[in-house]
Amino acid sequence: MKGKARIDGRSVDCVPGQSIVAAAKGIGIAIPTLCYDPRVEPSATCRLCLVKVKGRRLPVAACAHALEPEMEVTSEDPDLESWRRTILALALSENPAAECRRCAEIGPCELHALAKKLAVSPVFQGAASGRFKEDSNPFIRRDYEQCIYCYRCTRVCGELEQAHAIAPAGRGFKSRIATFFDGGLLESSCTFCGQCVQTCPTGALMDKKMLGKARATEATKVRSVCPFCGTGCGIELHVARGRVIGVTPDWNAPVNQGSLCVKGQFGLDFIHSPERLTTPLIRRNGKLTAATWDEAYGLIVGKFQQIKDESGPGAFALWSSSRGTSESNYLMQKFARAVIGTNNIDNCART
């Protein structure tokens, strides 16, 4: 049902099913959250997004309540600020330091960034409810001593990725994020897409490959496109001291909207591999030796011309890949027909 509502006195259109948080964001009002990820169903776990609705006795969780016509919402007042500061202080009892390792080496985590913004310090003392999880996988560090049990990781894993590799388990101080039989991620159904790492608002889940490389303040983010296939997923390269130290998704890229596969998320360390070829190699006297690009192209042209002269254009067959870009596939068929002179061109997508 469409209509108008008001948030902090500002008029906003009601979109059927749209949450108060999303509607507020659309008009430039940022309601603080920790458990909210717009890609999955809301859980209203952290309660930081509590707002007042005129006519209702108790505040409501803005992430889990749809904006309705004629609704009048207040997102800021002394009571709400006091509640949020107390809730945030409780969450900080799991992460009492001014910054965690994620803040220092990858970039500010949501918890500490919000604590700094609201000037909240950890006032509650106690043991952390989670435990560090030893895990031999090469990609994801699991330190549940910093977990605030927002369950964003388990919801993204189950609802968005449909992997169901991790799930909530236990109650109270025995709460934990668990795999089947409490094994490692390598023994689970995890596809290592890294979405749990990217949605985590604390340092509970981190990219192992980015740790120990540089301080976050030393790194620069460079927008790019993942090179592994033709999908065109947007990525952000973290560059420090002239080296790519890690990758995070580009949340504004229309193709993937923050999602990546294991290769795009964790596979770009090939850039600095000592085994990577940086110059063409030509076999001379039975041994591969470095050559210039002009020499390499000259050799290719010569060999192609020799085959064409001796056996004709029909001796060639060219095979392109659906994992390449449309432009690359177009050039391949153009090369086959216009340069080689053959129609022996096919694509793996047809098989």
Residue pointed to by tokens 């330091």: 97
Cα distance between residue 35 and residue 155, in whole Å: 10
Cα distance between residue 3 and residue 76, in whole Å: 23
Averaged pLDDT for residues 1-20: 92
Q: Give the residue extent of every domain in the chain.
A: 3-76, 98-210, 213-276, 281-350
This prediction has a pTM of 0.85
Residues in contact with 162: Cβ distance below 8 Å, sequence separation at least 6, in sequence order: none
Q: What are phi and psi of 205, to 5 degrees?
A: -125, 125
Cα distance between residue 25 and residue 17, in whole Å: 15
Percent of the chain topping pLDDT 70: 99
Mean residue pLDDT of the chain comes to 93
For 313-329, the pLDDT digits (tens) are 999 999 998 878 889 89
Contact at 8 Å (CB) between 137 and 192?
yes
The domain over range 213-276 is classified in CATH as 3.40.50.360: no
Does residue 351 register a pLDDT over 60?
no
Cα distance between residue 43 and residue 40, in whole Å: 9
Query: What strand order describes the sheet that includes 50-53?
Result: 10-14, 3-7, 72-74, 50-53, 60-61
Does residue 345 register a pLDDT over 70?
yes
* C-alpha 2, offset from chain centre: 33
Two structure tokens written together for 239: 């560059």
Give the residue among 229, 290, 292, 276 at the shortest CA–CA distance from 255: 229
Contact at 8 Å (CB) between 24 and 30?
yes
Domain range 3-76, CATH class: alpha beta
Secondary structure in 3-state letters for 47-82: CCCEEEECCCCCCEECCCCECCCCCEEECCCHHHHH
DSSP 345: E
- Position 1 scores a pLDDT of 59
Pick the CATH number of 98-210 from 3.90.1150.10, 3.40.50.300, 3.30.70.20, 3.30.1130.10: 3.30.70.20
Two structure tokens written together for 152: 């964003």
Percent of the chain topping pLDDT 90: 84
For 38-56, the pLDDT digits (tens) are 999 999 999 999 999 999 9
Does residue 124 register a pLDDT over 90?
no
Residue pointed to by tokens 């080496």: 105
Two structure tokens written together for 74: 């207040």
For 93-115, the pLDDT digits (tens) are 888 887 899 999 999 999 999 99
Averaged pLDDT for residues 283-297: 95
Does residue 230 register a pLDDT over 90?
no
For 249-266, the pLDDT digits (tens) are 999 999 999 999 999 999
pLDDT tier, 330 (very low <50, low <70, confident <90, very high otherwise)? very high
Cα distance between residue 253 and residue 249, in whole Å: 8
Two structure tokens written together for 182: 């409490």
